[in-house]
Amino acid sequence: MRPSPLRRGMRTRASLALGLAILMLMSAQSGVFMAQDAESEELYDFRMMESSVRTTNLVDVPSWKINDIWNYDGYLDVRDFVSSSGVTTNIEFLDGTLTQRVAGVYKMDVDGVDTLVYRVESNGYYEAEDVNLDGNNGDLVVGMDTEEIFRASDLASIQYTAIFDIDFIVQILWWTQTVHVADMVAETSYSPPLEGYDFPISVGEEWETDYTQINDFSGSSDYVTIPSDSTSSNTTSWEVVSQGYPGTFYSGCAQSYNITNYDHVNTIKHQTGYKWFCPAIRGDIRTSMSIAGVGIYSDHELTSYQPAGRYKQISVEVVHPLSPVDFEMSAWVNATSFSGAGGTGMPVAGQSLEFRYEIGGDVQNVTTASNGSAFVTFDTGHLADDTESETDLGSHGVVAWITGEKVVGAATITIDPDVHQVDLVARSEGVTVERTRGNRTVTLDSNIGFNAISGDQLIFSVPVLNRGIIDSPGTTLMIEAPDGSTSSTSVPSLSSLEESRVNVSWTVPENHLYGDISLSFVVDPDEQITTDGNRSNNEGSFSLFIGSMPTAVLSIVSE
């Protein structure tokens, strides 16, 4: 993964004549610096200035429709691709646009399982001016068409195909000559499919999978080397590292989810890309990732989302989104029609649908009653999904669709052998921090580092989750500041897998003591909820480092 060209730092240049030395006193805390003579300040300056509570269900799998369209601006980083071919060039980045469109909904065999899938097509155009290619100056143009197959139940990636058309345009006096640089087709398949989301999404969740990747390449070029076909066994993992502002403004996307991807090489994790998922647009508002395994990286930010008309919608409501193993689950499949955008939905009676619980091989044909709903039951089973997670045995999609109209509805069942009626969890790993410094606001994560300096405005978002199968009673969350002072706020009744977040803001005082500070918190501190079957997870804590900006010391060596 490469940083955007706009974000790359300037290289420092030292004058040997002046003998300039720049000495920075750096801390080990992800780029926050400490001064040696810092004045201390008592921790009682930690003040909770305001708090608020918001409650939401965890983010479930979206339903796509043919002609849903996402438009992006972005760039391609082709440095590794070009350098591996031995071509002499100054090319690094090509700026351009990308359009993604849902082009099909159908069934296909995936590792022996009859599976409902989406086909998503993309068209990209990128160019760079004043490029030198083997001693010739001109403009480089890249056309990129892609096709990706996603499993409808969880948006896992099954297959990916990228077609590249690369041309070099040279102006010689009043003639324009187009030199064909390369045609290349890269086809990639994954077994098992790669679950890049693992719904329902929640900050702090991590999952990992072992998979086989098959790459097939074809094409021709006089300038670059077409890669050889390959088959490899790999380990990859994902982590929802933060929730908040994604760095790109789009209506409804202020609370997006940063899902960072890592490859594992000799047990060492290497970050390979990320995406910011925005529920409001049913997709990603930002992405940065490798393309087709050929050394080309892409970075894109959403400019517009154009949803297809949804005048008929399907929804799936399961009685318990969290289930024990081998449980007889009930669900309602609902069909609703809308007269127009923003119109009132009306139930659709007599609608024929196909209900699919693919992990259990359960496919049922159902018809809605006069209220627009069809009642179904199915066995959740005891099968894990294709990823390893510490929080559950598996999360499986439940899908219903109208075959002739290609209208899809979906939901997720999480199965866990260790479930309780009520299980309130104070999720340390789910704490998010939004930091405002001057006029710049960023959402902190483990990659940026959880750190701050004097004057920073911080908003801590502390989550409480009900991992039980029935509604939890209302209770309280007690938060303890570093100096031992406490503050309590109400937590409302939560349904199964519903989350409540308590937001606490704090401005770091001037001359605050340098070092780690911590928040600790406990839900239901007086243990009044007798149905809570697991109190070992009612307490949590979170640490953040307070430092200072770097200090530069300049000296001129006299001759």
pLDDT > 70? residue 18: no
For residue 30, what pLDDT is reported?
Answer: 36
pLDDT in tens, 203-219: 999 999 999 999 999 99
Q: How many CB atoms are located within 10 Å of the residue 343 CB? A: 10
> Which CATH number is correct for 50-56+421-547, 2.60.40.10, 2.40.30.20, 3.40.50.300, 3.40.309.10?
2.60.40.10
For residue 552, what pLDDT is reported?
Answer: 61
Q: 379: closest CA among 316, 422, 331? A: 331
Question: Can 50-56+421-547 and 312-415 be said to share one CATH topology?
Answer: yes
- Could you tell me which CATH number the domain at 312-415 has? 2.60.40.10
Q: 460: closest CA among 24, 21, 101, 51? A: 51
Is this prediction's pTM over 0.75? yes
**Predicted confidence band of residue 344 (pLDDT cuts 50, 70, 90):** confident
Domain assignments of the chain as residue spans, ordered by start: 50-56+421-547, 66-234+295-306, 312-415
Strands (E), 152-229: 157-172, 175-194, 206-221
Angstrom distance (rounded) from CA 253 to CA 251 = 6
322, containing H or E segment: strand 322-323
Q: How many CB atoms are located within 10 Å of the residue 5 CB? A: 12
∠ CA 318-321-327, nearest 5°, is: 80
Angstrom distance (rounded) from CA 399 to CA 116 = 8
Mean pLDDT of the region 319-342: 91
Task: State which of 149-153, 436-440, 484-488 shows the largest mean pLDDT.
Answer: 149-153
Instruction: Output the six-digit token pair for 3.
Output: 């940083």
For residue 558, what pLDDT is reported?
Answer: 61
